[in-house]
Structure 1
Amino acid sequence: MRNLNEPTHENVEFMIDTIKTKLRMATAAAMQASNFNMDKYEDIKDLYDIVAGKDKFSISEVEALVSELGQLRNK
């Protein structure tokens, strides 16, 4: 079992990949784990927890989650 309380690059990669998979993102290639700073780790984990906790998402939920993920990317 992965310890996501540890802020590591590997955990960021795992969480971003899980989010992309669960949301079936059409633009998943644009969301590489390397595009995120470790200082946003807690925000990424919060988003991951939301996504990991649900099986289905409405279109508006997907749009909101993808938007939030986009805000966390490096500018």
Structure 2
Amino acid sequence: MSYFTANLTDEEQEVRDELARQNTKWGEQNHPDGTGGPAFNASRGATHTADLAEKAGIPVRRYERRSGDPR
């Protein structure tokens, strides 16, 4: 994958150089960005964990969604 490289700061160039080193070592990695389904599943897992903690007598703080919040 090629990237726009004109007018980069020193820090941006260091990041690009590191990316190139990692691509050379591991090959290009294209993973999902972590949004969507997995985040929802993590939330369900957290709810289950809180349920188990409550059953064991461990105090739990829960956060509720407000109406109008996405999801």
The TM-score with structure 1 as length reference comes to 0.28
**Greater relative contact order (Cα 8 A, min sep 6): structure 1 or 2?**
1
Greater helix fraction, Structure 1 or Structure 2: 1
Rg: which structure is higher? 2
The TM-score with structure 2 as length reference comes to 0.29
